[in-house]
Structure 1
């Protein structure tokens, strides 16, 4: 303490206090406060929710106070400012000038904490708010409380839903049946709290809809129409005044297909096959589509067994190709392309067949090779008058050329070019990432992560898809295919409860100033199909960021 001006300053904390004790103590209070705030968002009873919010903000305030107090004492700049403040007050006192009372360190920190909390409340109310995802209705885009598993056969990690009653009454473990989304292997596991993970924590932009209306396929947070004090999160699929239907898993608005923007589709692809996760048994996933093509294909490098497409080589010159055909094809075999949701555990039925797929491969071509990635979709049509049926097949393929100089990249439908573009040819002997994405009847050809060509298919099937096969092949010169991967788009299935507003069953007319929403995990989502529409005034904001857990596979923008 100064004998002249009576300035008092405690000793600055040592390195242990500054870098360990203060951050740990403050972090503990902040974390506990945030957990209580997120817990309050899950509660349905209004009084209990308010009390939990108050407790959470109180702990959060204590954490801020500890941080300001501890780190402020260690901050030379703040210490100099306090010394200068006391000096000016002492000089004013000596000169007989009235001066405001100097504030103690406790008062200064308390003032800073109060201001910080007020600013946080203002930001939370008007600008941005954090929410916790309690359920899996938006999986796999957003995960609720879940368990992390690893497939016993291919070792692929994936989440499954935690049921509300599991591990809540003091139990130490629960039993689950799960099916791997990549290799389709079903197994049983005993799960403990160590396997359990809480739902995603997200940030919501609360002011954006003050400047523009919500847009189709945005992920929105809104007040639940039946109990407005509860918040829900879904994907917006229908706009005011529209008539929407769902056919073959896709949304139609006023009779026209409502295609998802490319950036939305690219954020929600669901894995179906990945050769990086290799099985230890079972049928091979890739095989020739005709026996005459078998001499052209080698499955597995250096004689090693390859069941999943980790390495395949095609030499089309060795195939016995029929007249008019230049490509030696292989197809994805022994597994149907079901719109299954592994997240839902054994509750999830296999689901319908889907043709909205993305196929990717790392391809090393030789000079002159023409490489194709294709999706063959079969639709079964019924003739009620003649009591007969017939199948229609349609192959949409992306064509890539290897060589020197310029090449023609093309999208083909049943062998006919429907879109093409010129560009540098694939470099012979070097690997390239080739992609064909086909969803919402929109095909995209991508090379090394860049979209070179897109085509909106006006003739895509609207009836139920009967079968789908992913194909790939080469013509004119050899090519090596590695790291085969297949993903699928979200598929909107009919509601389990024969809901009143289900667009899969009937056309739904959306009132003015209202919106229609559905969950990405449509087999397990209570959404607009059950309770109708979200009024404009109930919209809270647009979800835009998953910030917790802060790991690479979870931390991301929400599309």
Structure 2
């Protein structure tokens, strides 16, 4: 079975006639003329829009990634074929400024050497695929000898840097209405009125905002008012969920060496078929059973977050080359594999600069760029072929040890939601899953709300889906108690996504695990952590892992033994009880904005008073007078660089990446 071939998953590839030298025909000449005419018309329209209603902006940084992209590398993984982007902002304006200074004849020899070192050090030379987690080289020049065996050095492509997304901004929409929460807005940066910034609006005038456990809470600015979680509308949730894993991108090289599949039959009853498709695997998970009584046990297919690291890739590559395990045995290797918690890893941030090697660091992604926050809000997306309209299909998401389940009766199409320990929570809805056929199903637990889509249509549980919301304080006996859980009887958050069946006949394919955006709770006066090799600062949502911590009941939490221990060792999980709450008042005439790429977003959380060029004169808020407008669409993504009859045409857009800003 072929993999999905939509633009979301597959980069458009030039045909043979495009790549090779082909004389332009008369039709290609016409096409070129029409393209040039279209570009001229686009510029004229852009000028008119700018004058009267709208204006075009270029995204400079990746603070809104993956929704919007700054200067970046657009990469196709050499092993699994997954398309992803990595930031290249260091190769942008700062690098250009250094190059301009380098051309100045008055620069001294010492200054020239320093500038050349800084320019070289700013090059992004490698990144990490979010699906198969291999470290990928982006450059072929000036690389050191003896690169680690975990790195594929035979299929390296020099990856160019592309400019940020060009977006269209409606400058006058807020003249007729107030900005709405969760909108993507453009504004003048308070520290520099000539700079345009773009963020997501999360806080409104007259309220106090709290960032906690990755979510947004608000309350009125009045004594005795309580914080309540702000739930994103379902269409925003669907647009903002980020990929964690996709079965279409499991590389064959790992599987051949014995690496386990992330989805496995947990209780018996599922049949997994694995075939080869190019360099990847095609997976089908079948469940065929006779009618079972209502109290028969459910058969579960469960996801574990099994992430290969550099050592695992070294073993797999050596096995592919030699057909044997070097330095270990298969049993020893597999015995060391441990499932992990799902984190806020964003491949956009996972880059290696040449400066890291120049400073004698390894060709390895800095540990903090692999995601340092446990994400509780998850989703699952899959294709299901129902062979017969009988039995039940169940979708299960685990959060802090509690199971949030959607049970669908395939005879009637009735869906029922349930939560561990809350028998009174049982909202129902009607779905089209009452007959044989093929369906696209998505289930999510985000912002204390359960959501179900069938064929991209929301299935509402009550009006506006209000029956599917729940109170996390009731579920967990206090929201602060929501930390990861696991046991011998229930793997819990180490197997956080499940697909169940009872008495059904069906096949699932194209399984995807998704996660919500995690907003890190930080403020300007928090002391940042320092990266291991680069020394760059970053913020954490919990007490410093190198320090011992003490809980309110006097329990002492020892420091971590290594950077990533928190995500695979349950004994360290009480540290999540130290997650911070950061409160921000938003007065009248003010807004609060944050970036979707929270680990690398300079937003209201980190703005401070003072005369610093990067500071806000007043504090952690956006003055309403600085609001420019709302982002409408990405109207001119970077070019793929070729059209029929021409090898390259700079500026020719990639139409597949044009999109409405959500």
Aligned length in residues: 435
Give 1:129 deviation, angstroms.
0.5
SS in structure 2 at match of 1:300: strand
Instruction: Report if aligned partners of 1:364, 1:479 keep a CA contact under 8 Å in 2.
Output: yes
- Is it true that 1:513 corresponds to 2:589 in the alignment? yes
Structure 1 distance, partners of 2:199, 2:432, is 42
SS in structure 1 at match of 2:237: helix
Task: Name the one with the larger strand percent.
Answer: 1
Structure 2 distance, partners of 1:310, 1:440, is 31
Instruction: Report if aligned partners of 1:515, 1:533 keep a CA contact under 8 Å in 2.
Output: yes
Give 1:349 deviation, angstroms.
3.7
Structure 2 distance, partners of 1:156, 1:495, is 32
Structure 2 distance, partners of 1:505, 1:135, is 27
Deviation digits for residues 171-229 of structure 1 (CA, Å, limit 9, x no counterpart): 89945332222233333332787532110000101111111111111111111111112
Return the TM-score normalized by structure 2.
Answer: 0.60
1:400 alignment partner, one of 400, 408, 411? 408
Report the counterpart of residue 298 of structure 2 in structure 1.
327
- Is it true that 1:130 corresponds to 2:56 in the alignment? yes
1:226 alignment partner, one of 188, 191, 201? 191
Give 1:145 deviation, angstroms.
0.5
Report the counterpart of residue 445 of structure 1 in structure 2.
452
Instruction: Report if aligned partners of 1:285, 1:309 keep a CA contact under 8 Å in 2.
Output: no
SS in structure 2 at match of 1:487: strand
Report the counterpart of residue 373 of structure 1 in structure 2.
395
Structure 1 distance, partners of 2:390, 2:302, is 23
Structure 1 distance, partners of 2:83, 2:260, is 21
Give 1:414 deviation, angstroms.
2.6
Structure 1 distance, partners of 2:212, 2:237, is 18
- Is it true that 1:411 corresponds to 2:417 in the alignment? yes
SS in structure 1 at match of 2:236: helix
Identify if the C-alpha distance between structure 1 residues 247 and 444 changes in structure 2 by more than 3 Å, giving closer, same or farther.
same
SS in structure 2 at match of 1:220: strand
Deviation digits for residues 294-331 of structure 1 (CA, Å, limit 9, x no counterpart): 3x121115899x99782111245699x9x956311121
Instruction: Report if aligned partners of 1:175, 1:188 keep a CA contact under 8 Å in 2.
Output: no
Structure 2 distance, partners of 1:180, 1:160, is 9
Give 1:351 deviation, angstroms.
2.2
Identify if the C-alpha distance between structure 1 residues 374 and 530 changes in structure 2 by more than 3 Å, giving closer, same or farther.
same
Instruction: Report if aligned partners of 2:275, 2:283 keep a CA contact under 8 Å in 1.
Output: no
Report the counterpart of residue 169 of structure 2 in structure 1.
204
Structure 2 distance, partners of 1:250, 1:372, is 27
Structure 1 distance, partners of 2:38, 2:407, is 55
Structure 2 distance, partners of 1:24, 1:507, is 52
Structure 1 distance, partners of 2:442, 2:35, is 47
Report the counterpart of residue 73 of structure 2 in structure 1.
147
1:270 alignment partner, one of 242, 255, 267? 242
- Is it true that 1:551 corresponds to 2:654 in the alignment? yes
SS in structure 2 at match of 1:326: coil
SS in structure 2 at match of 1:526: coil
SS in structure 2 at match of 1:143: coil
Structure 1 distance, partners of 2:232, 2:586, is 19
Instruction: Report if aligned partners of 1:353, 1:465 keep a CA contact under 8 Å in 2.
Output: no
Instruction: Report if aligned partners of 2:55, 2:168 keep a CA contact under 8 Å in 1.
Output: yes
- Is it true that 1:313 corresponds to 2:286 in the alignment? yes
Report the counterpart of residue 489 of structure 1 in structure 2.
516
Instruction: Report if aligned partners of 1:355, 1:375 keep a CA contact under 8 Å in 2.
Output: no
Q: Which fold has the larger relative contact order, with Cα–Cα distance below 8 Å and residues 6 or more apart in sequence?
A: 2
Instruction: Report if aligned partners of 2:131, 2:250 keep a CA contact under 8 Å in 1.
Output: no
Give 1:153 deviation, angstroms.
2.7
Structure 2 distance, partners of 1:369, 1:499, is 54
2:382 alignment partner, one of 361, 364, 372? 361
Q: Which moved more, 1:123-132 or 1:503-512?
A: 503-512
SS in structure 2 at match of 1:263: helix
Structure 2 distance, partners of 1:24, 1:269, is 35
Structure 1 distance, partners of 2:297, 2:284, is 22
Structure 1 distance, partners of 2:33, 2:510, is 48
Q: Which moved more, 1:326-335 or 1:517-526?
A: 326-335
Identify if the C-alpha distance between structure 1 residues 133 and 302 changes in structure 2 by more than 3 Å, giving closer, same or farther.
closer
Give 1:334 deviation, angstroms.
4.0
The runs of 5 or more residues in structure 1 that have no matched partner are 1-14, 35-59, 65-115, 379-392
Deviation digits for residues 423-478 of structure 1 (CA, Å, limit 9, x no counterpart): 554323x2222221221111112222222234112236633542361011101233
Report the counterpart of residue 348 of structure 2 in structure 1.
343
Structure 2 distance, partners of 1:22, 1:324, is 69
Q: Which moved more, 1:447-456 or 1:199-208?
A: 447-456
Structure 1 distance, partners of 2:377, 2:297, is 26
Instruction: Report if aligned partners of 1:149, 1:195 keep a CA contact under 8 Å in 2.
Output: no
Identify if the C-alpha distance between structure 1 residues 553 and 492 changes in structure 2 by more than 3 Å, giving closer, same or farther.
farther
Give 1:525 deviation, angstroms.
0.7
Structure 1 distance, partners of 2:519, 2:394, is 29
Structure 2 distance, partners of 1:398, 1:309, is 26
What is the RMSD of the two structures over their aligned residues, measured on CA atoms?
A: 3.6
- Is it true that 1:540 corresponds to 2:628 in the alignment? yes
Structure 1 distance, partners of 2:38, 2:636, is 15
2:469 alignment partner, one of 426, 433, 456? 456
Instruction: Report if aligned partners of 2:57, 2:166 keep a CA contact under 8 Å in 1.
Output: yes
Give 1:495 deviation, angstroms.
4.0
User: Which segments of structure 1 move beyond 6 Å, counting only runs of 4 or more?
Assistant: 20-28, 170-173, 306-309
Instruction: Report if aligned partners of 1:445, 1:452 keep a CA contact under 8 Å in 2.
Output: yes
Give 1:150 deviation, angstroms.
1.9
Give 1:263 deviation, angstroms.
1.7
After superposition, where does 1:171-190 map in structure 2 within 5 Å? 174-190=123-139
Deviation digits for residues 1-58 of structure 1 (CA, Å, limit 9, x no counterpart): xxxxxxxxxxxxxx99x95897677778x59xx9xxxxxxxxxxxxxxxxxxxxxxxx
Structure 2 distance, partners of 1:303, 1:443, is 35
Give 1:242 deviation, angstroms.
0.9
